[in-house]
Structure 1
Amino acid sequence: MSRASRDRPLQLPRGAGAVADAASSSHRFDFDARVASAPKRPGVYLMRDRQGQVVYVGKAIDLRARLNQYRLQQDTRFFVHLLEDVLGEIEVIVTQTDKEALLLENELVKRHQPRFNVLLKDDKNFIHLRLATEHDFPRLEIVRSPKDDGARYYGPYASASAARSTLREVNRHFQLRTCSDTVFRNRQRPCLEHQIDRCSAPCVLPDSQQSYVEDLADVHLFLSGRGTELIDEIQLRMRRASERQDYESAARLRDQWRAIKRSLEGQHVKLLDSRRDMDAIALYRQGARSTIALAQVRQGALVGVQGFALRDQEFPSTEVLSGFLVRHYDGGAEIPDELLIEHRLEEADVLATWLTEIRNARRAIKRSVRLHTPQRGDRAKVLALAQRNAKQVFRERLGASAAEAETLQALGSYLAMSKLPRRIECYDVSNIQGTDPVASMVVFVDGAPLKSAYRSFRIRSKDTPDDFAMMYETLVRRLERIDQPGWERPDLIIVDGGPPQLRMAVAAMDDLAIHGIEVAGLAKARSLSKERGRTPERLWSPGAIEPLVLDQNSKVVFLLARMRDEAHRFAISHHRKRRRGRTLQSALDQIEGVGPARRRALLREFGSVRALSRASVDRVAAVPGVGPKLAQRICDVLQVGEQVTG
């Protein structure tokens, strides 16, 4: 029995047999003996170090020939020259075909996470939209990772904001329910969503069941990128309704057709004349650091580009791409009709067969998947677009200094962001019993403060304590200036506070139809009691039931705390300045003998009340219309006020 079989159950493809031996010596691994005992069959091999840890998993059409390449050091990859000193044993598993070897290798890599394999670390961030099939009236919901449960999954979406934006589009154009199953079962009359034409109310209106089935089909076309088919289908229904003189339904379908058409035109860029779905996958690398860009083209239109960053991958580019394809599409990503790859892969036929089987198992329409490397024409232009994006992803994610990039990468990973949060804005509100309320905006770029971009806001709408309304006003005023000179678009907005403040931020973005910016709330630690200690720093994301509790000693927490403290310091500083100015101005108005004319003369001479409060009696007396006695009175009052408010 192999070591894998002893340690844990291993499910092999049908017809696969396991052959395992251990070859080790006290010092250097004996490749000669291991090669001699290896079978000339397709299969998978696991390399273990002397502590029994799996360090590499590979596949081969001929296991003996492949291991012999290691023995002769014909393989030039970075870790091969270390193997004789590191290896404790090589375990082989024989399979019937090379396709079975590909599948088994993928399973073993996911299980063991070997340090020398190509690992797609970003796949944990993939977010999908799930449409359940077990319910007669399913709803669309956001899930972290797809399961083999018969439901329809759409995506992946590389950021939570992108998934939420798509969900809002669906809710706007189609009348699917948004309530939970419990609410749906207990509903006795239509809700507000039905009143505003956002739901057909299948919970209480039986006549709406057929229209719900049509809406489900439309949502499937919309989320699958088949916008042309959707537009044609709605037009056909509109004509049929008009022919049977159901003009009310025809008008509703017309409005829906126009809205969806505008939405699709605004979102998608037409690249080529083709109704086939395709993904263009390109790799950009500098040594062991590399990035992959995946451009999704549906029916000739570009619908999105995803980026992936890989480190410590000193493998040939073909192996990096092959590993990416297996890990990415096996993780639940939608498989298109064509894959455009910039390098010809040795195992392209095996990958195409495997992807075709997975795709046909997921879809009702059976089609084969094609992998090819275009050299000219429109498809080559699509691939070139992916190559440019791969280079841009590298610049954004791996171009910053190593420590800062690692911290920002971790923060983006916690929030499921599709790109590195290079520009982060943090907001705080300051007031004392509602007086002189102000808000601050501090900006961090690549983990460092950019003080020239700091901004402060005087709250206009509230004179009574209402931090939530003040936060909403601040963000609306800031977001109204989005992309204006000096007001660059941030990658991430952080508000000081928990769910209430976060809801204000989301409301401000929704009201202004701002998309593509991630938002989070940072709730600070607070003391509970001597026995219970302090609560940890918590990070809230929109829609979350529970906060994300971070490692309190991590670099991410230190960065977030630094931004929050800086926002608080800047807000307090501006609040004190405003309160001091108001106090001094009021004091000047109340000084006996200082009327409007003398006040104007004093301010014209000194520029501000604060400068006047620091002037000498002789200099104040020199102002026309102000004598020594009045000057003494002015200085006495203002200098006392300066000491109190300072």
Structure 2
Amino acid sequence: MTAAGDPAAPAPAAFDGKDFVRGLSTAPGVYRMYAADDSVLYVGKAGALKKRVASYFSASPKSARIMSMLAQVARMEVTVTRTEAEALLLENQLIKSLKPRYNVLLRDDKSYPHLLMTREEWPRIALHRGPQSVPGRYYGPYSSVVAVRETLNLLHKLFKLRSCEDSVFKNRTRPCLQYQIGRCSAPCVGLVDADEYAAAVRRVRLFLEGHSDELLDELGNAMEAASAGLEFEQAARLRDTLASLRSMQARQYVDGHAADLDVLAVAMQGTHACVLLLAFRDGRNFGTRAFYPKTNGAEDPAEVLAAFVAQYYTSQQPPREIVLDRVIEDVPLLEEAFALNAGHRVNIKTSVRSERAGYLDLARRNAENSLATMLGSQAAQAARVESLRELLGQAEPAKRIECFDISHTMGEATVASQVVFDADGPVRSQYRRYNISGIEPGDDYAAMHQALMRRFKRAAGNDDAVLPDLLLIDGGAGQVAQAHAVLDELGIPGITVIGVAKGEARKAGDETLLLPGVDGQPGRELKPGAASPGLQLVQQVRDEAHRFAITGHRGRRQKARSTSRLEDIPGIGPRRRAALLKHFGGLGGLRAAGVEEIARVEGVSDALAERIYATLHGLDAPAPGATRTQKDP
């Protein structure tokens, strides 16, 4: 048997596209092109598979990008669908999961902000980001968190739904400040009945789903019914809600009716692209959002915009109207596919007038400005990377920079952060935090050693491990020594370790870089000064690590302080804990009580009262008849 790497092994046969096409049907479907290493090169859809795939292997002229792709094809696969709309949906699902090398990819690692209406007895409405794992109805996506908060503010004023977490809601004994300022109806303490609250929930849903006219009619009928029933206070509240909604609707109408539309424009420079989204829902402007798709060599703006529209709206709820700044392919097919997903008709327009034309011009200008800003920041970032290379005397610029920092408050809740930068800037999806434990409080050296060991232990002996070219340590020689000790212990060579020590005045630009020695010589120190672009890059990375560490530390510290010490006492569950806190009015009152007073609480024995008292006062729980003694420090 011939080994795969043997020069005598025959080269794999070239893919015969024309022969492959002969076996295809004319049904709609999706095709996938694979390279010799089984990586996916391209995913495409077709109204007629045979005709579309055959076009790749015909004699007609093709772009250099397509020719390069076809030269790498080792095999192809197809999936037949019932309709072309189904093919479109499947194509975009595969593009997102497989990330083919030659497709235009929508690249955005941020989660979209949504409004969440929970599915429970007393639903709450709140801002939500991240995985949609909480049961309920999600409304959005919104272009910015500001837009979500503005909508939430309006909803709480008009409909007074709760916003608190269940842990707060289930443990209230009196109304909170939100009730006092008229932003919640206080269902937690029974100040609103279930039917009235359910009606408010239904009205919020009508509002968020764009049924403003139906909502206004319902509120008007309810106001008249309340007035007829001599419930004048309720009628007045409904009157005020109606007035607020009508006032807002009057301000936010577009072209005489409430707009439910997205406006999209694309700007390109070479293969760099920016797609600008301007969103309106129920006449309200939700602001703009810029996207920077990875074009993978595509240079046609219409192709980029078409790919963006198809991928974006197969995962996000499309509005009733989408306005584009240029003509794209497959508009009827896209409208059909989006309507299947949305449950309502979706119109895609490229020729518009009046206010919509103004919005389109605004989107174009913002797309151009956003792209110019992005390219300018990329050029500045490249200059800083090159300056750092010269500063450190490296042959090649660092492709991956990692920085570690430690944060704690007098040794409490120690957290280490790891941030990652590449040639384009921060790679936030690869940030990590490490909760440090098992060390002497305040021992920064041990904390740094533990964090670095946890980061690099799995990389030891793994040829496929992702390692940094440059490792920045926020600290002086002691912390840098810990980094060298970890790398030497694990046998990981080739990583340049730089310490970033603050100056005596702790002033930005006064940092000292602790560089490794050359040819066995001891390390040297370098003070580039505030004007150095290379030091500015180091500061940016260091400051990001510092911010990320402090955020993690504060969260860990707050969690520790908000967790009741009663939870650590054996024999105390949620019921007894609630009974104790209610009896004494909180943890402070319980701490001030004696053993005999604690034992008077229902369900608390003398022995349990002893344990509670001992835990809250730092005492050893005594054996029967023994005397309590203060714990050793």
Q: Same fold (TM over 0.5)?
A: yes
**Which amino acid in structure 1 is aligned with residue 185 of structure 2?**
S
For 1:212, what is the secondary structure of its paired residue?
Answer: helix
**Which amino acid in structure 2 is aligned with residue 174 of structure 1?**
F
348, 357, 363: which is aligned to 1:380? 357
For 2:127, what is the secondary structure of its paired residue?
Answer: strand
Mark the CA change 1:42 to 1:557 in structure 2 (over 3 Å): closer, same or farther: farther
1:181 equivalent in alignment to 2:158 = no
For 2:79, what is the secondary structure of its paired residue?
Answer: strand
Mark the CA change 1:563 to 1:389 in structure 2 (over 3 Å): closer, same or farther: farther
Aligned to 1:322: 306
Alpha-carbon contact 1:271-1:302 (below 8 Å) kept: no
CA displacement 1:562-616 (0-9 Å, x = unmatched): 999999516999xxxxxxxxxxxxxxxxxxxxxxxxxxxxxxxxxxxxxxxxxxx
CA displacement 1:404-435 (0-9 Å, x = unmatched): 39999xxxxxxxxxxxxxxxxxxxxxxxxxxx
Aligned to 2:24: 38
Partners of 1:406 and 1:566 in 2: CA distance: 29
Q: How does 1:443-454 map to 2 (within 5 A)?
A: none
Partners of 1:402 and 1:572 in 2: CA distance: 25
Partners of 2:206 and 2:448 in 1: CA distance: 53
Residues matched between the structures, number: 410
Q: How does 1:166-205 map to 2 (within 5 A)?
A: 166-205=151-190
Partners of 2:505 and 2:207 in 1: CA distance: 42
Mark the CA change 1:148 to 1:102 in structure 2 (over 3 Å): closer, same or farther: farther
Alpha-carbon contact 1:55-1:115 (below 8 Å) kept: yes
1:214 equivalent in alignment to 2:209 = no
Alpha-carbon contact 1:48-1:90 (below 8 Å) kept: yes
1:51 equivalent in alignment to 2:37 = yes
Aligned to 1:113: 99
CA displacement 1:61-112 (0-9 Å, x = unmatched): 2222222221136474452111343222112222232122112211211211
Shift of 1:138: 1.0
219, 234, 242: which is aligned to 1:249? 234
Shift of 1:261: 6.6
1:273 equivalent in alignment to 2:218 = no
Shift of 1:158: 3.8
CA displacement 1:339-373 (0-9 Å, x = unmatched): 2223333322222122112112xxxxxx3222232
TM-score, structure 1 normalization: 0.54
For 1:87, what is the secondary structure of its paired residue?
Answer: coil
Q: How does 1:413-452 map to 2 (within 5 A)?
A: none
Partners of 1:30 and 1:40 in 2: CA distance: 19
Q: How does 1:361-372 map to 2 (within 5 A)?
A: 367-372=344-349
Mark the CA change 1:92 to 1:70 in structure 2 (over 3 Å): closer, same or farther: same
Aligned to 2:367: 390
Partners of 1:303 and 1:243 in 2: CA distance: 39
**Which amino acid in structure 1 is aligned with residue 164 of structure 2?**
C
For 1:401, what is the secondary structure of its paired residue?
Answer: helix
Shift of 1:335: 1.9
Partners of 1:373 and 1:108 in 2: CA distance: 28
88, 92, 110: which is aligned to 1:102? 88
1:530 equivalent in alignment to 2:514 = no
For 1:190, what is the secondary structure of its paired residue?
Answer: coil
**Which amino acid in structure 2 is aligned with residue 310 of structure 1?**
P
Mark the CA change 1:182 to 1:78 in structure 2 (over 3 Å): closer, same or farther: farther
Shift of 1:234: 5.0
Alpha-carbon contact 1:336-1:369 (below 8 Å) kept: yes
Partners of 1:300 and 1:264 in 2: CA distance: 7
Aligned to 1:63: 49
1:347 equivalent in alignment to 2:319 = no
For 2:170, what is the secondary structure of its paired residue?
Answer: helix
Aligned to 1:618: none
Partners of 1:124 and 1:75 in 2: CA distance: 39
76, 79, 82: which is aligned to 1:90? 76
TM-score, structure 2 normalization: 0.55
Partners of 1:569 and 1:117 in 2: CA distance: 47
Mark the CA change 1:287 to 1:115 in structure 2 (over 3 Å): closer, same or farther: same
Shift of 1:47: 0.9
**Which amino acid in structure 1 is aligned with residue 313 of structure 2?**
Y
Shift of 1:324: 1.6
Partners of 1:166 and 1:299 in 2: CA distance: 12
Aligned to 1:569: 507
Mark the CA change 1:195 to 1:379 in structure 2 (over 3 Å): closer, same or farther: closer
Partners of 1:397 and 1:309 in 2: CA distance: 9
Shift of 1:48: 0.9
Shift of 1:60: 1.2
Q: How does 1:602-617 map to 2 (within 5 A)?
A: none
Partners of 2:239 and 2:473 in 1: CA distance: 51
Partners of 1:207 and 1:91 in 2: CA distance: 60
Partners of 1:150 and 1:107 in 2: CA distance: 23
Mark the CA change 1:554 to 1:294 in structure 2 (over 3 Å): closer, same or farther: farther
Mark the CA change 1:377 to 1:166 in structure 2 (over 3 Å): closer, same or farther: closer
Alpha-carbon contact 1:27-1:85 (below 8 Å) kept: no
1:286 equivalent in alignment to 2:269 = yes
Mark the CA change 1:95 to 1:148 in structure 2 (over 3 Å): closer, same or farther: farther
For 2:188, what is the secondary structure of its paired residue?
Answer: coil
Alpha-carbon contact 1:272-1:301 (below 8 Å) kept: no
For 2:193, what is the secondary structure of its paired residue?
Answer: helix
Mark the CA change 1:43 to 1:154 in structure 2 (over 3 Å): closer, same or farther: same
1:122 equivalent in alignment to 2:104 = no
Partners of 1:556 and 1:390 in 2: CA distance: 36
Alpha-carbon contact 1:201-1:208 (below 8 Å) kept: no
Partners of 1:198 and 1:304 in 2: CA distance: 25
Mark the CA change 1:79 to 1:556 in structure 2 (over 3 Å): closer, same or farther: farther
CA displacement 1:297-355 (0-9 Å, x = unmatched): 33455332222112334434333223222321222x33211222233333222221221
Mark the CA change 1:167 to 1:564 in structure 2 (over 3 Å): closer, same or farther: farther
Shift of 1:164: 4.2
Alpha-carbon contact 1:146-1:153 (below 8 Å) kept: no
Shift of 1:26: 3.0
Partners of 1:171 and 1:125 in 2: CA distance: 24
Partners of 2:275 and 2:504 in 1: CA distance: 36
For 1:100, what is the secondary structure of its paired residue?
Answer: helix
Partners of 1:405 and 1:571 in 2: CA distance: 20
Report the more deviating stretch, 70-79 or 51-60: 70-79
**Which amino acid in structure 1 is aligned with residue 345 of structure 2?**
S
Partners of 1:224 and 1:556 in 2: CA distance: 49
Alpha-carbon contact 2:114-2:128 (below 8 Å) kept: yes
Mark the CA change 1:203 to 1:401 in structure 2 (over 3 Å): closer, same or farther: closer
Partners of 1:400 and 1:571 in 2: CA distance: 21
